[in-house]
Structure 1
Amino acid sequence: MSDFTAEQARDNLKNVYDPEIGINIVDLGLVYDVDVSDTNDVLVTMTLTSLGCPLGPVIVQEVTSAMSELPNLGDVDVKLVWSPPWSPDMMSEDARDELGIW
């Protein structure tokens, strides 16, 4: 059994913000899945707002850093996927409200 849950790991990702938009990556809908193994390894499956996002490497590094706060953390892997492609429909209601998207 791991020392933390996938939900706790996902909560840590709420501290990672898209630097161009200013909304955290969970509320933006960029995080598709978070898996935690019995040995505390974390796999974050996520996307970016666009395939050519120039700040992608920065966001991936910040995801890894956010996971480092978890107890007895094992390995962290961030898997970028492009299917399904991100769209504003994936944002939380709070994120849409903050950006004025109805």
Structure 2
Amino acid sequence: MPTYVTLHKLPPEKQTELADASESYERSKQLVEAMGGDVIGTYYGSIGDYDAMTITEYPDAESAAKAKIAFDRTAESDAQKFRVHTPEEYFDLIEDVVEE
């Protein structure tokens, strides 16, 4: 299944609710699973421009897009989701472009 990385940035009003982070993670995980996805990389808290990162898999781009839309509606965080590739997938993409 295609793999996605999502970077989460908590809005200011959610910064005061950090004690609820584990509950927020569980809600997010349930949403991913409801859209046919799977949390494979777990939830990583971070110090920097983003507050957390999640690695997920979805059966297709449509499922990932639906999850992003549903997640945005919960207002848990401002999320940036992007498709990532394994080294093998990435090198195959490069090879295809170079051969053209």
TM bracket (short chain): 0.3 to 0.5
Q: Return the structure number with greater relative CO, CA threshold 8 A, min gap 6.
A: 2
TM (norm. structure 2) is 0.38
Which has the higher Rg, Structure 1 or Structure 2?
Answer: 2
The structure with the largest helix share of the pair is 2
TM (norm. structure 1) is 0.37
The structure with the largest strand share of the pair is 2
